[in-house]
Structure 1
Amino acid sequence: MRFAGLITGAAATALVAAGAITYAVAADANTQDAKTPTADSADAGFARDMAVHHQQAVEMSYIVRDRTTNAEVRRLAYDIAQTQANQRGMLLGWLDLWGLPKVSADPPMTWMGMGDMASGKDGALMPGMATNAEMKKLGQLNGKQAEVFYLQLMTDHHKGGIHMAEGCVAKCTVGVEKRLAQGMADAQQSEIQLMAGMLKERGAAPRS
């Protein structure tokens, strides 16, 4: 149960911080010297792409919640879904605040200088994201098999998310967004370590 406490504590901290971050970015945007990001900025690109990235993590987590009765995995999945759904709402809210579109004609991660190179393996939209075939497979597994596959998929997902978050830390200009991105990277790295332990308990290991 030690892991469960750590997960719940981290998720609670992230959710409490979310409200403060939302108010902070609104305050930043209302100051005279605040510069509203442009549609092709790293700030907007990160908000758009991470919102898409997060949405799949939420979907994946709700799938596994219904495919296993294991309390530890269900709790992890719930915490990831709640945290990332909350953060996704913030990212989309910022785009509204800035008066910017939520979709772009440019390939994902163009703001990182990756563009057409951003597609992940086997047609995944971005690095770390699961393919349609993998999402379908997760929905067909049960019990331990579902747990292992979810932990492997989410580990890859977090690695891709960390790469993107670190890109925002380096390139974004809105301070509160940079801080959120750093918080994402730190939290997801901790969860990667947690999931490695959970995989080991199940006689498995990360895929990469």
Structure 2
Amino acid sequence: MTSDTRGSRTWVLVAALVAVLLVGAAAGMLITTARGGGEDAPPSADSVDVGFAQDMRMHHLQAVTMAGIERDRTADPTLRGLAFDIESTQLAQASEMAGWLTVWVQPDLPAPGAGHMGWMSEGGTHAHSNGEGGTTTGAVQRMPGMASTDELNKLRKLSGAELDVLFLQLMLRHHEGGLEMAQYAAEHAAKGYVRNLADKIVKSQEAETSMMKTLLSQRGAQPLPSP
């Protein structure tokens, strides 16, 4: 293991610990307000707030996995930095969402087999991506942009330029797939702090999406099909 790798892992651990501390502080404030009842009462299990937190947390955790693979294996300092930024940012955000769900007394991930994105349906009238290139007004079994097990296994086996290109392709598609959920939550979540985080996710992932398209073009590669 190189000194750069050890250093990167140390910073990720530090970022994770800071995130946990911040979540703990946020949880304390949320508990205080939740006890007041009324408008500060926890959102229901079928709300946009809970659905977004569960689904986006799951979406983020796969991004953390892919970014960790790239950070450990790439020889490109630009991509190592990008992977570290994605890994640390989305780990902190996933921890924040886990804190909300704990305070709301909700599972930190969707129930197995329950599907995803049903909270975006607005009574079955709002169409959203079905994860297969089409649209639906109900829950989906695979969120847009999520990499398959085969794709993740391939990423783990590659090195050099092939690794970098596949990472950029998978992460670009992943970011684009998550934007729809974040945009919806930024507009429809009941809690201001949920809308605020969703808006931050939209802005940061739009910026990173633009950057990754440029990096792919520089390597003579094209994005994967849209989610």
Q: Distance in 2 between matches of 1:106 and 1:130?
A: 19
Match of 1:112 in 2: 120
- Number of residues of Structure 1 aligned to a counterpart in Structure 2: 193
Q: What's the RMSD between the two structures over aligned residues?
A: 2.8
1:178 aligns with 2:190: no
2:178 pairs with one of 149, 157, 161 = 161
1:37 pairs with one of 28, 43, 55 = 43
Which structure: greater helix fraction?
1
Q: Distance in 2 between matches of 1:116 and 1:70?
A: 36
2:26 pairs with one of 23, 28, 38 = 23
Q: Distance in 2 between matches of 1:188 and 1:28?
A: 30
Question: Is the contact made by 2:115 and 2:141 (CA closer than 8 Å) also made in structure 1?
Answer: no
Residues 59-74 of structure 1 correspond to what in structure 2 (within 5 A)?
A: 59-74=65-80
Match of 1:75 in 2: 81
CA displacement at 1:141 relative to structure 2: 1.1
**In the alignment, residue 66 of structure 2 is paired with which amino acid?**
M
**Offset from partner CA, 1:126-170 (integer Å, 9 cap, x none):** 101111111111111111111111111111100111111011112
TM-score, length of structure 1 as denominator length: 0.82
Of structures 1 and 2, the one scoring higher in RCO (CA 8 A, sep 6+) is 1
Question: Is the contact made by 1:64 and 1:77 (CA closer than 8 Å) also made in structure 2?
Answer: yes
2:204 pairs with one of 187, 190, 199 = 187
CA displacement at 1:65 relative to structure 2: 1.8
Q: Distance in 1 between matches of 2:35 and 2:213?
A: 43
Which secondary structure does the structure 2 equivalent of 1:63 belong to?
helix
**Offset from partner CA, 1:60-119 (integer Å, 9 cap, x none):** 011112331111101110110010011001101100011112233531111112899734
2:150 pairs with one of 128, 133, 141 = 133
**In the alignment, residue 206 of structure 2 is paired with which amino acid?**
Q
Match of 2:99 in 1: 93
